[in-house]
Amino acid sequence: MQEIHWTEQGEPRSARWHSESGNPPPKRVQVADDTMNADVAYRLACEGTALLWRGDFQNARQLLQALARRADHKKSKGGKGSKARAEKAPASATEAFHLHRQAQSQRARTLAMLLIPFEPGYRIPLRRAPDVALACNEAYGRGDDAFVISLRELLGLVGAHEWRKAGVAVAALGERIHPHYGVFSPVRGEYVQLVADAPLPRGANELAFDIGAGTGVLSAVLAKRGVKHVVATDMDKRALSCARDNISRLLLEGQVELLEADLFPAGQAPLVVCNPPWVPARPNSSVEAAVYDPDSRMLRGFLSGLKTHLTPGGEGWLIMSDLAEHLGLRTRAELEEWIAAGGLKVLGRLDARPVHPKASDASDPLHAARAAEVTSLWRLGVA
């Protein structure tokens, strides 16, 4: 258990520190309230001084918005003109990606410097503070201790709670999926639609494996298609809880079995489905683990182990974006080599263009790669 330490009213104080992204407790902490100027707050945050808020909660939210505006509009110290801009332009898509991730991380670190105290029972001892006990219980479990977290994390948690209540419409299901805190939401409908459209291999109506269940959306699609028994695995307890909730809401408990396992369950199946993280890079939070996977660990693990978990004539469905290829982080040749090394062959492929907003956002630093992105369902069989 990590602790955060500060001095208040001349006395040393401390509390438990909580950070979902794994950030260490800040070394310098200053008590702040409604008299704090946004420019001063931004300077302190950039210097690594955290601000433990003691004023009005709604004013803290406004201050965070002011800090975000300053972070987003921070002027470059470089020269002006087309020549300077050309010199600063990334030399490649790979460099653009790393610069983008670096900027995201720096922005997140700065905005995480505004801190909120909690008393036992998830009570916030500030004026006009909302009741967030239910949202915190959903994300963290019981709260018997006092602790301190960043306001940015708290607002993300509250937003996830509202998203969980409302759910996300999934066209391929004709139903809503309710994502939990820390579990990636199925907002990219193209990959779900591919699983709904691909022809089921012989015998798959009896049994299928879903590797990396997440919200349970692909298991639900398979069950709705008539697969009698879907065995879904995940290593993340939040994901398993989320999938269990969604499978129950959809009245599919009799068809979908959830297991905590690293990739494959025991045995073989006529159909094994996997939608691994598609970008080989380090995630900065638990929810990002659905997108970023260092060294393509899950992808390579799936391809190397698939052969032994397929029944004769069975298929493995690899559902994955090729964004990493357009960013220069992985080549198509590498993917094909991993497929062959696993004793597999490509039986066919279904492609879909992305429909999410960033694909058409020309202001996005990675627009060129996103505009070229294709999400594919690779039908793999034993070579």
pLDDT in tens, 339-349: 999 999 999 99
What pTM, to 2 d.p., does this model score? 0.90
Tell me the pLDDT of the chain averaged across its residues: 92
Q: How far apart are CA 195 and CA 102, in angstroms?
A: 34
Task: Give per-residue pLDDT as tens, 221-271.
Answer: 999 999 999 999 999 999 999 999 999 999 999 999 999 999 999 999 999
Question: What is the mean pLDDT of the segment spanning 165-192?
Answer: 93
Q: What are phi and psi of 242, to 5 degrees?
A: -65, -50
pLDDT reading at 305 higher than 70: yes
Q: How far apart are CA 348 and CA 176, in angstroms?
A: 30
Percent of the chain with pLDDT over 90: 81
Q: Nearest-CA neighbor of 205 among 232, 228, 221?
A: 228
Question: What is the mean pLDDT of the segment spanning 100-106?
Answer: 90
The residue that leads in pLDDT, 365 or 48, is 48
Task: Give per-residue pLDDT as tens, 75-94.
Answer: 444 444 444 444 467 888 99
Q: How far apart are CA 18 and CA 154, in angstroms?
A: 11
Worst-scoring range by mean pLDDT, 204-208, 257-261, 283-287? 283-287
Worst-scoring range by mean pLDDT, 34-38, 224-228, 354-358, 369-373? 354-358
**CATH number of this structure's domain 167-382:** 3.40.50.150
The residue ranges of every structural domain in the chain are 3-74+91-163, 167-382
